[in-house]
Each structure stands twice: as structure tokens, then as C-alpha cells.
């Protein structure tokens, strides 16, 4: 027995669903127009185009191809300029070529249609949510779930981007829903749909491989509810067939070819050494076995290894502090901050209504809760703590449950119906108030979007999507002389959107992209800083944070809750010193040892309490054979690295200091 049906006929219900999907679409289109390109979109898009046109999967193997191919599909009929290979490493080449590809071909001219293609995943997910909830619980619950989902800020922030999160959520939810339908009517066509959906989940994002254990758990629960070993056997056989089908789909997306590119071209770095360098040797052994027997395409295996490596390497910002690996509380708290209060209240009320029913739909409840519990436990125990967007796959399941709560409230009494209406209206107002800065959304219990940066950063607030708004702000305030620390600088540059501020260094722009910059120790004028850099995501917190002089200052303006504007005179000695550190290396490569030594000494004068500047000077002194001074600076570098957030320093900082001291001391003791 389902919940009561809607009090109006199918035509009105169809109209209501159509209106909600239209509103959802309009909101997503608006986001696609006002957001600038973020960290990942350009290289995802270029890699998709590269796969379509060259059948080459090497450029950006860090994610599977489905979303990238979908994004690039509208570009295939365009006459586009393709940048030449710059001869960089695979990851760096992807970002540099991606930027040249997107902005060399008109920016939004290619990015907007790509976003519209990716928006289809969000729309399909909305339709699947409605269909699944209606089939399980009836029309009232389905409309309520769709209404709440349509105005969810996290979904709206990512639903129209060239990104894997919504696509992954779509096909994980679709796989579970398809398995639910198969378990009702175990026919071959329905089984094939489950296998196809699971394969699409695996090729949308690597977390899609966890659909299979979800289905196995659901098979076990079905057998338990039926109290039948026969049911268990049949469901496990079905799971084996699903896995086989998904495996074939995965190979199909890689052209049924193990090699990542035609002509024997290899990944860079090649798979064997890359897998061997993984921190977890058990994972390395498993992937080596998969590679040895060619069980999956080489590009897919490389991407799995990359996921585990970056999970280990990424730092995490949580409640004003940087961590080498995020605490286990990261995702539970991120969920409580980034979820809307109407959703949280609906979920809190769910047991109150559910336990009062005679027919509690135990089977349906398992199909909604088991994937949520499994996935949530999975991400909570991981170290990829960089954004609530990684929780996206649990939200359609939770909105289905929230829809059931609303439906129960509507049919229970007039008072409860008023509560249900208030929750729905609250969700709409929440979305409207945060538009279009959905990326930085946080609910009212935590102070709203303007306060999220106190607890979370990175894609929870700032993914570099604000350049169009920054350009508008500068034009409206007639600001021409400015400095800008822009989080994705290099993957996207402010000048791509007409923002011509002078560059302040970020971790990526200084050390990885090695962009040109020259920073004085004191700056007069207007300074703009992306939230992720202000919080120290790329540098570290406290004394390690280049932007520590700005922490605690009240900004003159905040753009889309993610870019802070300051006017005045500011001392930035550490920033200037680190730019000098890079200049030291460039001068040494050019054979200008004396100039390099002077630059390294200037960096230490500017930032004497930086392990990086001390180590840089010591290395330069070694080349000049000034052993005594080198020893002193190596010693000081080691002391600083051990005492100022050592877990955030480069892993080789202390070993380099110790080896340098040994080398300098050995020369000092020579006759």
C-alpha cells in the first residue's frame, strides 16, 4: 500500500512536473551563464574533445570519459583551434592546453554548450527521482521530493558545470532504482538496464565502482526480508550479470582498447611506476594485478591510481585549520552545513511519521537508506576532504525520503499540512536568497553563505567561478590598479575575462604553472583574494599562510561570497620572499649564481622564519661552496620545518635539511 494519491488527475500532475523541471532548467541555465570557468572545466572539456577526435585518453585520465565526452559532443561540428602540445607532464599539459583550447575558441562559445550538455545529467536525475519516488510511495511524495530537489543550492551550483559529481549521482541513483525495478519483475530487459546504468556510473566517476557492493548488500537484504536462500542465490547471480554488463560498458567507452592512445603512445608517467608510487601498497598490488591481466583499460587503471594518490596528497581545510588529511568529522559536518534546513527538518521528522504507519515499506526504505549509509561511510573514511560535492550521490535518496515526510504531513492533518507547505516554501526562498552564489551556500543554522568560510573552503565556497562578477565589480567601481590572488590561476586566468589585475601568487601559479609575477614586500591599492587562498588551502594556515596579514581584516566587499576585496597599504613580505625563492631557481638555471645568491639572501631578509626561504638560501650557498653559512641555514630550515606545522610542510623538507647539514659539515671538517 502506497501513500494516498494526488487529489487531481494525471494531466495536472504532468503539468506540475513540467513546470518544476522548467524552473529547474532556467535556474541551471542562469548558473551556466553567470559562472566563469572553474578549476576543472577547461581540461575536462579539452580532454573530451581530444578523445572524440584523436581517440587519445592520456591527457586527463584522472576521471573516466563519460561526462567529458558528453560535454565535448556539441563542439564536434564547430571549427575549433587545437593548441599544440607544449611538451609538459600529462597533468600540467591537460590544464594548460585546456585553457588555451577554451579561451582560444571564444570562452563561452564552447563552454556554454558544453555546460548545457552536462545539464542533461541533472535533468535526468530529477526525472529519475520523481519516477522512483512515485513508484515507491505515490504522487504526493514524488512531487514533494522533486519540488525540494529543484531548489537545492548544492545541486544548482554543480548541475550545469562540466564536472563529474552530478553525472555520478545520476547514474548511481539510476542503478539502484533500476535494480529495485528488476527485483520487482526479474526480467532480462530490466537486468540489462541495471547493467547499463551501473556501467554509466563507473564511467562517470570512479566512485561508480561502489555501485556493485551496494547492489550486493541490497540483494542480501531482499533475501533476508524474503527469508529465502533461493532469492539470495538469484539476486547474487543477477549481480554477477550486472557486473559483467557494466564491465563491457566500461570497455566500450575506451573503444575496447587497452592502450590509452593509438600508435603505442604511453601515459606520462607510465602506469607501472605510477602505480608503484602509490602510498597504499595494498592498493598498488591490486591495481598491478588488474593491469597484468588487462582486466580494465589502462587509462581507467591509471585514473584509479591517481584517485588514491591525490586522496593522500590533498590537504583539507576544516573549521579554520588546515590538515594534511581531513578529520573523520569533515563530511558529517559538511553535510549539516551545506544541506538546506528544510531537508534536514524533513529527514528529522521522517521517523516520527514512519513509525506510526502499519505498512512501513521496509523494502523501499532499504533501497533508499542502504546506498546512503554505505556511500556516506565510504567518503567519511576517505581522505579526499575537499568539498561537499563529493556527497552528491546521497542527495537524491535523501530527497526521496524528505518527499515521503512531506506527503505524510499533508495527509495527516491541516496543521501538519501547513508545516509541509512552510518547508516547501522555505526551500524556495533559500534558493532565491542564495542565487546565483549557490557554490558558497550554507544553511541559516551556521550563519548562512557569508559564514561558510569559517568552517569549509575549496569547492564548498570557492572553485574560481566568480570572475564575471569580479569584472563587473571592478568596472562599476572604476578600479583599474589592483592585485589579485585567484585560486585556479593558470587553469583559468583573470585576464581571460577581462580582469587585468597584477598577479599575486597562489600555490599552483607559483610552483606548478610557474606564471610570471613580481610582488613587492608592500602593496598600496586594491587587493582581491579568493577564499581558498585566504584560508590557506594551498599554503597552510597560521605562519605558513601567505595571506595571513589579511585574515581577520574586514573586507571592503565580498564578491559572490568567495572573493574578498581590500583597500589600503599592506605588508606582504612572505609572499614577496617566496616569489624570490622561485626567481633564485630560475637564475641558477640561467647560470647567474651571484644574482641567485643575492635574491636568496633577500628572501631570507623578508621572511626569516620561513623554512622554504632558509632552505633555498642554504642550497644556493652550497653551490657557492660557502659551507659554514650553508650549515647554519640548513639547521635553521630544519628547526622551522619541525616546529611550524610540520605535517603541512613538503615531505622532503626535513630530510633535505639534514642531508644538507651533513654535506656542509663534511666539507667544514676537511683539511
- Entry pTM: 0.94
Confidence (pLDDT) at 646: 78
Confidence (pLDDT) at 358: 57
pLDDT band at 485 (very low <50, low <70, confident <90, very high): very high
- Of 327-331, 352-356, 500-504, the one with minimum mean pLDDT is 352-356
Confidence (pLDDT) at 314: 85
pLDDT in tens, 374-408: 999 999 988 888 889 999 999 999 999 999 999 99
Dig out the grid coordinates for 491 from the structure.
587553469
Average pLDDT along the chain: 93
How much is the average pLDDT of 1-22?
76
pLDDT band at 326 (very low <50, low <70, confident <90, very high): confident
Confidence (pLDDT) at 359: 60
Confidence (pLDDT) at 357: 63
pLDDT in tens, 128-186: 999 999 999 999 999 999 999 999 999 999 999 999 999 999 999 999 999 999 999 99
Class of domain 577-668 (CATH, top level): mainly alpha
Dig out the grid coordinates for 254 from the structure.
575506451
Confidence (pLDDT) at 174: 98
The H-assigned helical ranges of 270-361 are 271-276, 281-292, 298-313, 330-338, 341-354
Q: Is the pLDDT of residue 320 over 50?
A: yes
Dig out the grid coordinates for 510 from the structure.
607559483
The distance of Cα 488 from the centroid of its chain, to the nearest Å, equals: 13
Confidence (pLDDT) at 1: 40
pLDDT in tens, 340-381: 999 999 999 999 888 766 566 788 999 999 999 999 999 998
Q: Is the pLDDT of residue 638 over 80?
A: yes
User: Could you give phi then psi for residue 436, rounded to 5 degrees?
Assistant: -90, 10
Output DSSP code: residue 648: G
pLDDT band at 47 (very low <50, low <70, confident <90, very high): very high
pLDDT in tens, 57-81: 999 899 999 999 999 999 999 999 9
Omega cis (within 30) before 78: no
Contact 121, 67 (CB under 8 A): yes
Contact 51, 65 (CB under 8 A): yes
Is the CA virtual torsion 50, 52, 56, 60 positive or negative? positive
Q: Is the pLDDT of residue 565 over 60?
A: yes
Amino acid at each position: 500500500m502506497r501513500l494516498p494519491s494526488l487529489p487531481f488527475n494525471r494531466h495536472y500532475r504532468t503539468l506540475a512536473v513540467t513546470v518544476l523541471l522548467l524552473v529547474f532548467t532556467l535556474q541551471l541555465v542562469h548558473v551556466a551563464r553567470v559562472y566563469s570557468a572553474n578549476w576543472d572545466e577547461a581540461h575536462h572539456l579539452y580532454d573530451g574533445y581530444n578523445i572524440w577526435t584523436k581517440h587519445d585518453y592520456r591527457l586527463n585520465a584522472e576521471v573516466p570519459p563519460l561526462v567529458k565526452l558528453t560535454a565535448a559532443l556539441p563542439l564536434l561540428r564547430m571549427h575549433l583551434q587545437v593548441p599544440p602540445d607544449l611538451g609538459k607532464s600529462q597533468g600540467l599539459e591537460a590544464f594548460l592546453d585546456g585553457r588555451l583550447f577554451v579561451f582560444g575558441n571564444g570562452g563561452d562559445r564552447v563552454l556554454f554548450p558544453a555546460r548545457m550538455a552536462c545539464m542533461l545529467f541533472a535533468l535526468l536525475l530529477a526525472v529519475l527521482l520523481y519516477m522512483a519516488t512515485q513508484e515507491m510511495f505515490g504522487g504526493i511524495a514524488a512531487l514533494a521530493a522533486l519540488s525540494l530537489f529543484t531548489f537545492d543550492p548544492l545541486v544548482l551550483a554543480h548541475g550545469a558545470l562540466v564536472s563529474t559529481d552530478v553525472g555520478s549521482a545520476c547514474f548511481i541513483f539510476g542503478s539502484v532504482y533500476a535494480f529495485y525495478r528488476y527485483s520487482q519483475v526479474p526480467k532480462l530487459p530490466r537486468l540489462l538496464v541495471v547493467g547499463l546504468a551501473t556501467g554509466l556510473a563507473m564511467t562517470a566517476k570512479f566512485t561508480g565502482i561502489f555501485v556493485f557492493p551496494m547492489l550486493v548488500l541490497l540483494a542480501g537484504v531482499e533475501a533476508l526480508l524474503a527469508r529465502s536462500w533461493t532469492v539470495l542465490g538469484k539476486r547474487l547471480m543477477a549481480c554477477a550479470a550486472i557486473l559483467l554488463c557494466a564491465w563491457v560498458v566500461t570497455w566500450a567507452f575506451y573503444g575496447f582498447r587497452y592502450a590509452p592512445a593509438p600508435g603505442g603512445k604511453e601515459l606520462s608517467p607510465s602506469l607501472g611506476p605510477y602505480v608503484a608510487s602509490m602510498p597504499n601498497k595494498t592498493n598498488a598490488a591490486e591495481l598491478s594485478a588488474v593491469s597484468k591481466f588487462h582486466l580494465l583499460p589502462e587509462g581507467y587503471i591509471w585514473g584509479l591510481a591517481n584517485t588514491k594518490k591525490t586522496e593522500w596528497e590533498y590537504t583539507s581545510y576544516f573549521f579554520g585549520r588546515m590538515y594534511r588529511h581531513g578529520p573523520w568529522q569533515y563530511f558529517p559536518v559538511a553535510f549539516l552545513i551545506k544541506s538546506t534546513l528544510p531537508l534536514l527538518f524533513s529527514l528529522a521528522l521522517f521517523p516520527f511519521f514512519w513509525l506510526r504507519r502499519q505498512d512501513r515499506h521496509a523494502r523501499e526504505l532499504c533501497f533508499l537508506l542502504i546506498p546512503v549509509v554505505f556511500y556516506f561511510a565510504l567518503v567519511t573514511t576517505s581522505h579526499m576532504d575537499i568539498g561537499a560535492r563529493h556527497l552528491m550521490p546521497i542527495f537524491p535518496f535523501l530527497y526521496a525520503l524528505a518527499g515521503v515526510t512531506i506527503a505524510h504531513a499533508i495527509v495527516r492533518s491541516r496543521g501538519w499540512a501547513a508545516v509541509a507547505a512552510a518547508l516547501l516554501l522555505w526551500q524556495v526562498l533559500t534558493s532565491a536568497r542564495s542565487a546565483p552564489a549557490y557554490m558558497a551556500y550554507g544553511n541559516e543554522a551556521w550563519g548562512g553563505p557569508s559564514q561558510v568560510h569559517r568552517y569549509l573552503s575549496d569547492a564548498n565556497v570557492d572553485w574560481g567561478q566568480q570572475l564575471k562578477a569580479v569584472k563587473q565589480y571592478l568596472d562599476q567601481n572604476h578600479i583599474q590598479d589592483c592585485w589579485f590572488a585567484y585560486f585556479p590561476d593558470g587553469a583559468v586566468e583573470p585576464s581571460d575575462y577581462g580582469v587585468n589585475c597584477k598577479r599575486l601568487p597562489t600555490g599552483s601559479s607559483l610552483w606548478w604553472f610557474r606564471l610570471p609575477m613580481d610582488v613587492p614586500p608592500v602593496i598600496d591599492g586594491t587587493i582581491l583574494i579568493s577564499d581558498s587562498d585566504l584560508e590557506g588551502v594551498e599554503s597552510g594556515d597560521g605562519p605558513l599562510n601567505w595571506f595571513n596579514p589579511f585574515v581577520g581584516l574586514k573586507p571592503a566587499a565580498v564578491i559572490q561570497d568567495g572573493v574578498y576585496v581590500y583597500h589600503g597599504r599592506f605588508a606582504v613580505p612572505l609572499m614577496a620572499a617566496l616569489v624570490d625563492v622561485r626567481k633564485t631557481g630560475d637564475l641558477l638555471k640561467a647560470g647567474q649564481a651571484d644574482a641567485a645568491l643575492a635574491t636568496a639572501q633577500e628572501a631570507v631578509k623578508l621572511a626569516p622564519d620561513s623554512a622554504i626561504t632558509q632552505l633555498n638560501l642554504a642550497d644556493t650557498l652550497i653551490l657557492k661552496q660557502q659551507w659554514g653559512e650553508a650549515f647554519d641555514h640548513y639547521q635553521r630550515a630544519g628547526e622551522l620545518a619541525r616546529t611550524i606545522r610540520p605535517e603541512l610542510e613538503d615531505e622532503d623538507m626535513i630530510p633535505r635539511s639534514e642531508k644538507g647539514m651533513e654535506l656542509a659539515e663534511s666539507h667544514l671538517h676537511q683539511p
